Amino acid sequence: MIAGEASGDYLAAGLIRQLKEEVPDVQIEGIGGPLMAREGAVIHHPMDTISIMGVDGLAKSLWKILRIREAMHDRFVADPPDVFVGVDVPDFNLSLERRLKRAGIPTVHYVSPTVWAWRAYRIRKIRRAVDLMLTLFPFEADYYRERGVPVSFVGHPMADEIPGTVDRGAARAELGVDAECVVALLPGSRISELKRLGPLFVDVAARIQRSGRCDVQFLAPFISAGTLEYFRDLVAQRAPELPVRLLQDRSRQVLSASDIALLASGTAALEAALHKTPMVVTYKVSWFTSVMVRLFARVSHFSMPNNLLEKPVVPELMQNRATVDAVWKEVDRYMADEGLRRDMERTLARIPEMLRCGASARAAREVLRVAGREAV
Name the residue ranges covered by the structural domains of the chain. Answer: 2-155+357-371, 168-355
Contacts of 348 (CB under 8 A, 6+ apart): 272, 273, 276, 277, 278, 305, 313
Question: What is the mean pLDDT of each successive set of 10 residues along the chain, which is 376 residues long?
Answer: 92 97 96 96 93 55 90 97 96 96 98 72 90 95 94 96 88 93 92 91 95 92 92 96 94 95 90 95 67 51 84 88 93 91 93 94 97 77
Single pTM value for the model: 0.84
- pLDDT for res 295: 46
Same fold, 2-155+357-371 and 168-355: yes
Which of these, 114, 159, 160, 157, lies nearest to 133 by C-alpha position?
114
Region of 367 on the Ramachandran plot (φ > 0 left; ψ -120 to 50 alpha; else beta)? alpha
| Secondary structure class of 154 (helix, strand, coil) | coil
Domain made up of 2-155+357-371: CATH architecture: 3-Layer(aba) Sandwich (3.40)
- pLDDT for res 150: 97
Residues in the chain: 376
- pLDDT for res 192: 83
Which of these, 301, 318, 297, lies nearest to 119 by C-alpha position?
297
- pLDDT for res 164: 80
- pLDDT for res 54: 46
| DSSP character at residue 314 | S
Residues 25 and 40: their CA atoms lie apart, in Å, by 11
Cα–chain-centroid distance for residue 222? Answer: 13
CATH of domain 168-355: 3.40.50.2000
Q: Are 2 and 92 in contact (CB under 8 A)?
A: yes
Q: Are 366 and 134 in contact (CB under 8 A)?
A: yes
Instruction: For the sheet with 132-135, list strands across it.
Output: 42-46, 29-32, 2-3, 84-87, 107-110, 132-135, 151-153
- pLDDT for res 296: 47
Residues pairing with 262 in the sheet: 185, 280
Burial class (CB in 10 A: 0-12, 13-18, 19+), 374: exposed
Q: Are 324 and 200 in contact (CB under 8 A)?
A: yes
Q: Beta strands 29-32 and 42-46: pairing type?
A: parallel
